[in-house]
Structure 1
Amino acid sequence: MKILDRYILSTYLKSFFSVFTILMLIFLLQSIWVYISELAGKDLDIIVVMKFLIYVSPRLVLLVLPLTILLVSIMVFGNFAERYEFAAMKSTGISLQRAMRSVGVFIILLAAVSFFFANNIIPIAEYNFFNLRRNIAKVKPAIAVAEGQFNQLKDINIKVSKKSGKNGEFLEDVIIHQKKPNSFGNFTVIKSRTGKFISNADSEILQLILYNGNYYDELQPANYQKRTKNRPQVKSSFDKYLINIDISDFNNIDFDNKDASSRYNMLGINELNKTIDSLKKNYINSTNEFSNKILADNSINRLQKKYKMDKIETFPDLLTLFSDLEALSLINISSNSIKNTKSILNIKSKSNLIAKKNINKHIIALHDKFTIGLMCIVLFFIGAPLGALIRKGGVGTPMIIAILIFLSYHFISIFAKNSSEDSSLNPIFATWVAGIITLPFSIYLTKQATNDRALFDFNTILMHLKKVLSKSKLLTIFKIDV
C-alpha cells in the first residue's frame, strides 16, 4: 500500500470509528427512552440491563453503519478538498477515483461483513431480545400497568385511564375483564371509578381494592349446545371490592428463559427461504380448500340419473311453483344463506390478508440482509464525491447534509416496505427501491467530482435544454433567439 493510500485510509478509519461510537451511544440512549416503560420500577440488576443493551445494539447497527459511512465520507473528503489536498493530488495526476480506491476497498469489505452480521448475528440478538423483554414484563406487573391500554395480570385484564401516587398505586376509571377457571372468554367485567394497589414486601399477594363501581357477570348455560345470543346477565354495585392477585410466579423470573417461537426477524437466509416456501404452500392449499368448500356448500347437486325430457317447461318465476308460505320460507333461507356466505368470505378475506402480510414480512426480512451491503456502498459513493464538491469538512455542514440525505433514503425505504406489507407494492421491489433511486445519484456525483465540475452545472443543463427545444421547433414557433 502506497503512502497516500495509507494516509487517506488511516484518516478515514480514525473518523469512522469515533463517529460510529458516538452515533451508537446516541441511538442506544434513544432505545432506552423508547423502552423506559418496560425497564422503570423493576429493580433490575445491572447484568439484566447490560443484556438488554447488548441485545438491542445489533439492530441499531443497520441504522448507524450507513449513516456513519455517509457522514464520515463527506467529512473526510470535504476536509481534503477544503485544505487543497485534492488539488495537490490532482497536480500529480491522481484523480478522485484513485484517491477513493483504498477507502472503497474497505467499504466493500465492510458491506460483506454487514451481510454476515445481518444474517448471523442479528437473528440471534433479536431472539434473545424478544425473550428478555417477555421475561422483564413479568417482573412487578403492578408497576408495569400502563395508562390507556389493557394489561395482563394473571387471570385479569386491567385498563386504567390515569395513575397517580409515588409508585403509581392510585388508579382512576378502572375496567377489568376477569377470566373464570375452566372456561374460555371474558364473561366478567368490573368497572370502578377509583382503585388502589396494596402490596407488602414480605407477601406474595398483591391486593387491588376498587371503589364505587359495578360488577357485570354473563351467565353461561350448563349445556354449551343450548347457548343463545341473548344470555342472562347479573349486575351488582359495590362501594368497595377486593381482588387478591398471586404474584409468587413474578418473583422468580428466569431471565435466561427462551421459549418464544422464531419470528421473521429471528431467522437467517436458509430459514427464511424454507419458511417462505412453507407459508406460500399453506396459503395456496388453504385458499383452494376454502374455494372448494364454498363451491360445494353453495352449488346445486346434480341428479344421479339422466332423464330424457320430451318437453321442457319454462316458468316466469320459480316462486309461483310454491305457496305463499313456502315462497316466504325459501326467500328467508336464501337470504340467510347469502348473509352467512358473505360473512364467511369477509372472515376469509381478513385471514388471507394476515397470511399474505406475514409472507411479505418474511420476504422483506430476507432481502433486507442484502440491501444493507448495497446501502453502505451507495452512500459511500454519494458522500465521498459530495464532500469533494462542497469542500466543507468538520461536523457542521457535512452533518446537516448527511442527515438530510440519510433521512430521505430511510423514509423512502420505510414507506416502500410499509406499503408492501399489504401487497400495495411488490415486497422485493420495496426493499431495493431506495437503493435503485439513489444509485444514479451516486454515479452522477462521482462523475461530477472526477471531472472537477460543479454539483449542478446550470450552463450544461441549459445547453441540453436548448438542444431539445430546438429539435422540437418550439423556439422557432415563439421566435426566441438562442
Structure 2
Amino acid sequence: MKILDRYILKSFVTTFATVFIILFFIFILQGIWLFIAELAGKDLDVWLVTKFLLFYSPKMIPLVLPLSILLAGIMTFGSFAENYEFAAMKSSGISLGRAMRGLTIFIFGLSIVAFIFANNVIPKAEYKFVNLRKNIIQRQPAMAIVEGQFNSIGDNFNIKVSKKSGEKGEKLTDVTIHKRGKGEAQATIIRAKNGLLKSNESSNLLQLELFDGYYYEELKSKNSREQQKAPFAKSTFSKQIMNIDLSMLNNNDMDEEKISQTNGMLNISELNYTLDSLENNYTKEERSITDNVVKRTSNALSRKTSYTERDFSHIEKLPDSVKTDKNDLLSLMVDSKKQRILDIAINNTSSSANIIKQSINAQNERMKNINNHWLALYEKFVIAYACLLMFFIGAPLGAIIRKGGIGLPIVFAVIIFIVFHFINTFGKKLAQENGIPPFLGSWMSSIVLTPLAILLTYRATNDIGMINMDAIMLPLQKAVMKLFKIKSNEE
C-alpha cells in the first residue's frame, strides 16, 4: 500500500470511527427512551440493564452504519478539497478515482462484514432480546408493578399496590385493580388486602392470587332510565385467582411486528426453509377454501327438502318455453314455496359470503407474514449494498462541495439519509400490505438513490460541479445591473 493510500484510509477510518461511535450512542439513547417504562423504577441491576441494551444494540447497525459511511465520506473528501489536497494530488497526476480506489476496497470489505453481521449476529441478538424482555417479567413478575402508583398491564388492567415484599417482591399489600374491557364504559374495581404473584418461565401467563377482598362492578342496563341510577354489584371473596397475559407486555414499541413474528430472528437458510413452508401452506389453504366453498354450494343444492310431487305437478302443465327458461326458475314453484326457497337462497349466500370474507382476511394475514419474511431476507443484502451506495454518494459529494468539518456535511448527510430511510420505510410498508413485491419494497430506496451515486461520482471524477452557479448567477447579475443603470439614468 502506497503512502497516499495509507493517508486517505487513515483519514477516512478515523473520521468514520468517530462518527460511528457518536451516532451509535445517539441511537442507543433512543432505545433507552423507548424502553424507559420497562427499565425505570424496576430495581434492575446494572448487569441486567447492560444485557438489555447489548441485545438491543445490534439492530441499530443497519441504521448507523450507512449514515456513518455517508457522513465520513462527505467530511473526509470535503476536507481534502477544502485544504487543496486534491489539487496537489491532481497536479501529481492522481485522479479522484485513483484516490478512492483503496477506500473502495475497504468499503467493499466492510459491506461483506455488514452482510455477515446482519445474517448471523442480528437474528441471534433479536432472539435474545425478545426472550430477555419476557424472562425479566417471568422471573421477577413484581417488576411489572411499581409501588404507590397505577401500572397499566395490557389494554384492560391497571394495578396499584401499597407495598411489595418477599425475595422477589412477589408478596403484595393493599391491592387495587381497575379492569375495563375495550370500548366499555363500565369498569370492575377489585380491592384485596394481600396478593401473591406467581409465574412460570414456560408460560406467558402471570398468575395473581388475591386474598380477603371484594369487587365492585358497574352493571350495564338496556333501559336508559335504569342506567341513570348507576346500578352496581358488590361481592366479597376470601381468595381469587387472576391470570394476566404477559405477551401484551412485548407489544409496546415500534417493533411490534418483529416481536410478534419470527422473521427477525432467522438467518438466510432458515428464512428460505420457513418461506418454503409458508408458501406451501398458503397454497394448500387457498385450495382448501375453494374446495370448501364449492362443496358447500353443492351440498346446499343437493340438500333434501320436504317438497312433494304435488309441489311440482303443475310444471307438466306449463309450456316448454317456460320450462326451459333458466332466468325464471322460481316461477316453476307454487306460491307457498317461493318464500321458503328465497329464504334458503339468502341464508346460503350470506353464509358463503361470510366464509369467503373470513378466508380472505386469513389469507391476507398469511400473505403479510410471507412478505415480512421476504423483507427480512432482502434486508440482509440491502445493508451490504447500502454501505457501497452511501460511500459513492458521500465521497464524490464531499469533493464537489469542498467543505469539511461538521457544518454543511451534516446537513447534506441528514437530508440524504432521511430520503433513504423514508423511501425504505414506505417501500416496506407497501410490500407488507402486498401493494408491491417484497423485492421492490426492500430495494426501492437503493434503486432511487443509485442514479444519484452514479451522477455524483461521474461529475466529481470529471471535475464538474454539482450545479453550474454561473449559469444561474450571471443572468441575475446582468438583470440587476440593467435595473440600476435605468434608475441612475432616470435620476
Deviation, structure 1 residue 215: 6.0
Sort the Cα spacing of 1:338 and 1:105 in 2 relative to 1 into closer, same or farther, 3 A. same
What are the residue-to-residue correspondences of 1:272-421 with 2, within 5 Å? 272-299=271-298, 300=301, 313-314=323-324, 317-421=328-432
Other structure's SS at 1:237 match: strand
Letter in 2 for 1:39: L
The residue that corresponds to 1:19 in the other structure is: 19
Counterpart contact for 1:386–1:449, Cα < 8 Å = yes
Deviation, structure 1 residue 239: 8.7
Counterpart contact for 1:195–1:208, Cα < 8 Å = no
Sort the Cα spacing of 1:415 and 1:208 in 2 relative to 1 into closer, same or farther, 3 A. farther
Sort the Cα spacing of 1:365 and 1:82 in 2 relative to 1 into closer, same or farther, 3 A. same
Counterpart contact for 1:207–1:245, Cα < 8 Å = no
Sort the Cα spacing of 1:197 and 1:365 in 2 relative to 1 into closer, same or farther, 3 A. farther
Q: Is 1:426 matched with 2:426? A: no
What are the residue-to-residue correspondences of 1:127-146 with 2, within 5 Å? 127-138=127-138, 139-140=141-142, 143=145
Show CA shifts across 1:98-144 (max 9, x none): 11111111100000000000111111111111111112244326527
Sort the Cα spacing of 1:460 and 1:106 in 2 relative to 1 into closer, same or farther, 3 A. farther
2:233 is matched with which residue: 234, 237, 241? 237
Counterpart contact for 1:111–1:376, Cα < 8 Å = yes
Sort the Cα spacing of 1:112 and 1:246 in 2 relative to 1 into closer, same or farther, 3 A. same
Counterpart contact for 2:456–2:466, Cα < 8 Å = yes
Counterpart contact for 1:175–1:190, Cα < 8 Å = no
Sort the Cα spacing of 1:346 and 1:386 in 2 relative to 1 into closer, same or farther, 3 A. same
The residue that corresponds to 1:81 in the other structure is: 81
The residue that corresponds to 1:120 in the other structure is: 120
The residue that corresponds to 1:268 in the other structure is: 267
Show CA shifts across 1:241-262 (max 9, x none): 8975579999xxxxxxxxx997
Deviation, structure 1 residue 460: 8.4
CA distance in 1, matches of 2:85, 2:432: 48
Q: Cα RMSD over matched residues?
A: 4.0
The residue that corresponds to 1:225 in the other structure is: none
Other structure's SS at 1:42 match: coil
CA distance in 2, matches of 1:248, 1:163: 15
Letter in 2 for 1:27: F
Counterpart contact for 2:389–2:450, Cα < 8 Å = yes
Show CA shifts across 1:27-73 (max 9, x none): 11110110112222322222221111111111001111001000111
The residue that corresponds to 1:479 in the other structure is: none
Sort the Cα spacing of 1:81 and 1:248 in 2 relative to 1 into closer, same or farther, 3 A. closer
CA distance in 1, matches of 2:276, 2:291: 23
CA distance in 1, matches of 2:41, 2:193: 16
The residue that corresponds to 1:437 in the other structure is: 448
The residue that corresponds to 2:226 in the other structure is: none
Counterpart contact for 2:111–2:383, Cα < 8 Å = yes
Unaligned stretches of 5+ residues in structure 1: 178-185, 217-234, 251-259, 303-308, 462-482
Report which stretch shifted further, 44-53 or 115-124: 44-53
Deviation, structure 1 residue 324: 2.9
Letter in 2 for 1:46: V
Other structure's SS at 1:395 match: coil
The residue that corresponds to 1:151 in the other structure is: 153
CA distance in 2, matches of 1:60, 1:206: 42
Counterpart contact for 1:164–1:171, Cα < 8 Å = yes
1:174 is matched with which residue: 174, 178, 189? 178
Unaligned stretches of 5+ residues in structure 2: 165-172, 199-207, 221-230, 247-258, 304-315, 473-491
Other structure's SS at 1:376 match: helix
Letter in 2 for 1:434: S
Show CA shifts across 1:390-443 (max 9, x none): 111111211121111001001001100100111111111111111111111111
Counterpart contact for 1:211–1:240, Cα < 8 Å = yes
Bigger helix share? 2
CA distance in 2, matches of 1:90, 1:209: 85
Deviation, structure 1 residue 375: 0.4
Sort the Cα spacing of 1:324 and 1:163 in 2 relative to 1 into closer, same or farther, 3 A. farther
The residue that corresponds to 1:469 in the other structure is: none
Counterpart contact for 2:175–2:193, Cα < 8 Å = no
Deviation, structure 1 residue 322: 2.9
Other structure's SS at 1:317 match: helix
Deviation, structure 1 residue 320: 3.2
Letter in 2 for 1:56: Y
Counterpart contact for 2:177–2:191, Cα < 8 Å = no
Deviation, structure 1 residue 170: 11
Sort the Cα spacing of 1:70 and 1:292 in 2 relative to 1 into closer, same or farther, 3 A. same
Counterpart contact for 2:393–2:457, Cα < 8 Å = yes
Letter in 1 for 2:349: I
The residue that corresponds to 1:478 in the other structure is: none
Counterpart contact for 1:38–1:144, Cα < 8 Å = no
Other structure's SS at 1:238 match: strand
Letter in 2 for 1:7: Y
Show CA shifts across 1:57-94 (max 9, x none): 11001111001000111111111111111111111111
CA distance in 2, matches of 1:239, 1:141: 30
Other structure's SS at 2:233 match: strand
Other structure's SS at 2:17 match: helix
Counterpart contact for 1:388–1:449, Cα < 8 Å = yes
Deviation, structure 1 residue 344: 0.4
CA distance in 1, matches of 2:36, 2:11: 38
Show CA shifts across 1:314-364 (max 9, x none): 357333333333211111111111110010011001001000000101111
Other structure's SS at 2:343 match: helix
Other structure's SS at 2:218 match: strand
Sort the Cα spacing of 1:124 and 1:298 in 2 relative to 1 into closer, same or farther, 3 A. same
Deviation, structure 1 residue 210: 7.3
Q: What is the identity percentage for the equivalent residue pairs of Structure 1 and Structure 2?
A: 40
Counterpart contact for 1:41–1:143, Cα < 8 Å = no
Give the TM-score normalised by the residue count of structure 2.
0.74
The residue that corresponds to 1:49 in the other structure is: 49
Letter in 1 for 2:279: K
Counterpart contact for 1:39–1:136, Cα < 8 Å = no
